[in-house]
Amino acid sequence: MGFRPTIYRCAVSLGLKGFVQNRRSEVVAEIQGSRNAVKKFYPHLKEMLPPSALIETYIEETISPVKESSFSIVESLSTAYNFPPIPPDLAICDDCKNELFDPKNRRFLYPFITCTQCGPRYSIVEDTPFDRETTSMIDFPQCTECLAEYTNPMDRRFHSQTNSCDACGPVLTLIHADGTKINGDPVINTIEALNRGAVVAIQGIGGFHLAVNILKRESIIKLRAVKNREKKPFALMVKNLETAEKLTVLEQPDKDILKSPESPILILPCRDNIPENYTLVSDTKTLGIFLPYTPLHLLLFKHPNTEIKYESLIMTSGNRKDEPIVIDPKIALEKLNGIAELFLYNNRRILFRTDDSIVRRGNSTGMVLVRRSRGFVPRLIHILHKSPETVIGAGGDLKNAPALLKGNDIYLSPYIGDLDNPEAQKEFKNQIKNILKLYNASPETVIYDMHPLYNSSQWARKSSFKNKIEVQHHHAHILSVMAENNLSETLGLSFDGTGFGTDGAIWGGEFLLAERSRFQRLGHFGYIPLPGGEAAIRHPVRILAAALHSLMSPDLLFKSLREISDLSENQFDIILEMLNKRINSPLTSSLGRIFDAAASALDLVNNVTYEGEGPVKLEGIALHYLYDSNPHDFPDEWQKLLVVKDNPDNSTFYIDISALLLKLLDERKKRRKDYLAWMFHNAIAQASIRGVEKMHKLTGIKNVSLSGGVFQNIILRELLVPQLKNKGYDVFLNRAVPPGDGGLSLGQVYFNYREE
């Protein structure tokens, strides 16, 4: 980050003497001089901090003066620590951008230009403290000119651990899929290949991308076919903000996110009447876009020595379906052969894989992380109460990311993926091994999900850790919010797609009273059978049939379902038999499954091709209605559909949504789908508020925490949070981690299993 050089310049500017030293858990500065100059040091330092630097804690003590002749940066010290500070990977800074395209600069068009403010960090770390010798940059001894910059305290590249140039740094190579090298400038040759429609595997900071020119329709279709990715949206790297504004509804906070050092993929509503090829990228009425964040990316869009015929590139993760992103060029040639025609790679080793992070933004609820990886890892989550032991959280099986608690800090690993895949399981084990090595940690306890079949949980049960503790899935979701906000008790809305409940049912629409050591389920969305189990998730018309079969005659129900699906009469009869006899029809309270049923009712999805397809499309058209119509009302005819009922024992309540789904199905031909999607979101928000008020009446508690994958839905957040606040509730959300399963392990390690 250039933190020590900044301290150096601050001290020298004030005439102070002493030293600054990097230690594994802190930076220590010893300063001495006049009383006035010493007093000015910290305020002056805060003003001088680089944009990407952050002071988390500051401790000051007075010591006796010693004989010092100057201020210096002394050799790093490996001391005892909780977590050594490792900076995240950062997007190229403006100063380096200017140098990259300056013909007079010695790094003109150099694809690995960096300084203390930008470039790879976490992804190249081998050990701590973070110095060049402990990163993969040790492979590249600095030339005389780079070393002069590196050792000059007044230079922007003073102690820039990734400092290099054409004479001493990494080298790009472009090869065919058969391994033969392509002569000439690798960047220019890559641009020409993209111009003509080639699929190119490109090595980035944390792994490979697969790049395709958006103008080449056949290439996009080919990429979908060879990646076995029928409809799931692709990420789109755009040349600049002007290009982004042509494609999406972009406001100033969105621009700030796109230009930030983290440079994440930002999901935005797309504009009407964008070119048809963009519907091949995403058919959800939204686009996930990001800006070039490495010097190589910039050269692919702005190289001055060749014609560039595109302003947008598909830049999707370089992997096979459901496998982790590839980080090694040799593995890329093996795994991505048959997908990519060309491979552009370099000889700088990637030690920690980091996918691109994905975020969303609400006007009143701020940014929400969908996928936490490059740019956000390895930032720590600080808790008030120091843990007496080191704890590891295994996470779940979807969007897995394990966590490590040590002292007052929690480290959450970057996104790994779904553990149904053997390669992802292997990476999960490697990630934990590498984390423990990097942070010199020896956990006594592992905490994991109570689901009996999760791969992460089976690993934990077979592990050699002294204590093995299971935590209910939805409790862990709420605990993740509690950890971020240092809460000991809260009302919780834990809404997601799937989680194993204490009664053996599939939970996902839960109203909880949560503490660090326990929870009480006060309410839930009404149970719906899933005829065929997993088959119902893949074909959500089955869920809709289950929700409505008691409200409609079989003939009318079948006729209605046939209008929105390819359901055959024989399939319908089997579904009815499963429902009537309760055969292979597990119960679920999942709000995610309710969203699936609503998307089916509006004929938005028939056969699900990726997780969350129905809810994503449902929200996409509702967002467009919101932007087009700016609605404010929620008519009484919809209010009446929401019914909160007491369970027979009166200790809990449930919310019946069958009438709401029937309304969507009935109104589908009479009203615009986007209007109905908007009303559905309103209805779920109002039902949730009624649930909160019911919980408050039972407990008197005013803290409300929202978590679970459903809260990646911007509309639901924007409808729910302001209304709860207006009713006097204190509302807490996930900020530092995703609300979905990518943040689950944070909640697991916050669980206080020792509390009586």
> Cis peptide leading into 129, omega within 30 of 0?
yes
First CA to last CA distance, the chain: 43
Q: Which of 77, 94, 125 represents a domain boundary (last residue)? A: 77
Is 319 inside a domain boundary?
A: yes
pLDDT, tens digit, 9 for 90 and up, residues 490-502 = 999 999 999 999 9
Please give the pLDDT value at position 220: 96
Please give the pLDDT value at position 561: 95
Q: Which of 451, 442, 446, 498 is nearest to 472 (CA)?
A: 451
Q: Which of 45, 77, 109 represents a domain boundary (last residue)? A: 77
Please give the pLDDT value at position 650: 67
Is 614 inside a domain boundary?
A: yes
Please give the pLDDT value at position 339: 95
Mean per-residue pLDDT for 465-472? 97
Please give the pLDDT value at position 79: 52
Q: CA–CA separation, 582 vs 40, rounded Å? A: 74
User: What is the overall mean pLDDT for the chain?
Assistant: 93
Please give the pLDDT value at position 78: 54
Q: Which of 638, 609, 626, 585 is nearest to 713 (CA)?
A: 626
pLDDT, tens digit, 9 for 90 and up, residues 144-159 = 999 999 999 889 898 8
Q: Are strands 519-525 and 653-656 parallel, antiparallel or unpaired?
A: parallel
246 and 322 belong to one structural domain: yes
- HSE, CB side, 13 Å, CA atoms: give it for residue 312: 27
CA distances for 387 relative to 327, 436, 449, 702, angstroms? 35, 17, 20, 27
572 and 643 belong to one structural domain: yes
Q: Which of 742, 751, 732, 712 is nearest to 412 (CA)?
A: 742
210 and 334 belong to one structural domain: yes
* 551: CATH: 3.30.420.40
Q: Which of 450, 471, 492 represents a domain boundary (last residue)? A: 471
In three-state secondary structure terms, 569 is: helix
668 and 590 belong to one structural domain: yes
**Cβ atoms of residues 324 and 340 within 8 Å:** no
Please give the pLDDT value at position 1: 66
Q: CA–CA separation, 455 vs 461, rounded Å? A: 10
**Cβ atoms of residues 617 and 599 within 8 Å:** yes
Beta pairing partners, 506: 500, 588
Q: What percent of the chain has pLDDT over 90?
A: 82
Domain count, the chain: 4
Mean per-residue pLDDT for 364-377? 96
The residue type at 242: E
438 and 542 belong to one structural domain: no
Please give the pLDDT value at position 276: 87
Q: CA–CA separation, 130 vs 127, rounded Å? A: 7
Is 271 inside a domain boundary?
A: yes
708 and 580 belong to one structural domain: yes
384 and 337 belong to one structural domain: no
Position 163 pLDDT exceeds 90: yes
Position 648 pLDDT exceeds 90: no
Per DSSP, helices labelled H in 630-700 are 636-639, 658-667, 673-699
pLDDT, tens digit, 9 for 90 and up, residues 389-402 = 999 999 999 999 99
What's the pLDDT band for 347 if we cut at 50, 70, 90?
Answer: very high
Position 358 pLDDT exceeds 60: yes
* 67: CATH: 3.30.70.100
Q: Which structural domain, as residue segments, surrounds residue 645?
A: 524-741
Q: CA–CA separation, 296 vs 187, rounded Å? A: 8
Top-confidence residue, 225 or 635: 225
CA distances for 314 relative to 38, 224, 302, 336, angstroms? 53, 11, 16, 16
532 and 658 belong to one structural domain: yes
What's the pLDDT band for 112 if we cut at 50, 70, 90?
Answer: very high
Average the pLDDT over each of 124-128, 307-311, 363-367, 616-620 and give the range with the smallest value.
Answer: 124-128
389 and 334 belong to one structural domain: no
532 and 657 belong to one structural domain: yes
Is 95 inside a domain boundary?
A: no
The residue type at 83: F
Is 371 inside a domain boundary?
A: no
**Cβ atoms of residues 420 and 724 within 8 Å:** no
Top-confidence residue, 115 or 49: 115
Mean per-residue pLDDT for 215-223? 96
Q: CA–CA separation, 89 vs 121, rounded Å? A: 5
Mean per-residue pLDDT for 403-424? 94
586 and 636 belong to one structural domain: yes
The residue type at 338: G
pLDDT, tens digit, 9 for 90 and up, residues 540-554 = 999 999 999 999 999
Note the pTM of the prediction, 2 decimals.
0.92
> DSSP states of 689-715 as a string?
HHHHHHHHHHH---EEEEESGGGG-HH
Is 293 inside a domain boundary?
A: yes
Position 81 pLDDT exceeds 90: no
Is 104 inside a domain boundary?
A: no
pLDDT, tens digit, 9 for 90 and up, residues 501-533 = 999 999 999 999 999 999 999 999 999 999 999
pLDDT, tens digit, 9 for 90 and up, residues 678-719 = 999 999 999 999 999 999 999 999 999 999 999 999 999 999
**Cβ atoms of residues 314 and 234 within 8 Å:** yes
Mean per-residue pLDDT for 250-267? 97
Please give the pLDDT value at position 50: 77
Top-confidence residue, 53 or 471: 471
Per residue, what are the HEC states of 438-500?
HCCCCCCEEEEECCCCCHHHHHHHHCCCCEEEEECHHHHHHHHHHHHHCCCEEEEEEEEEEEE
* 242: CATH: 3.90.870.40
Is 150 inside a domain boundary?
A: no
Q: Which of 589, 590, 604 is nearest to 677 (CA)?
A: 604
729 and 651 belong to one structural domain: yes
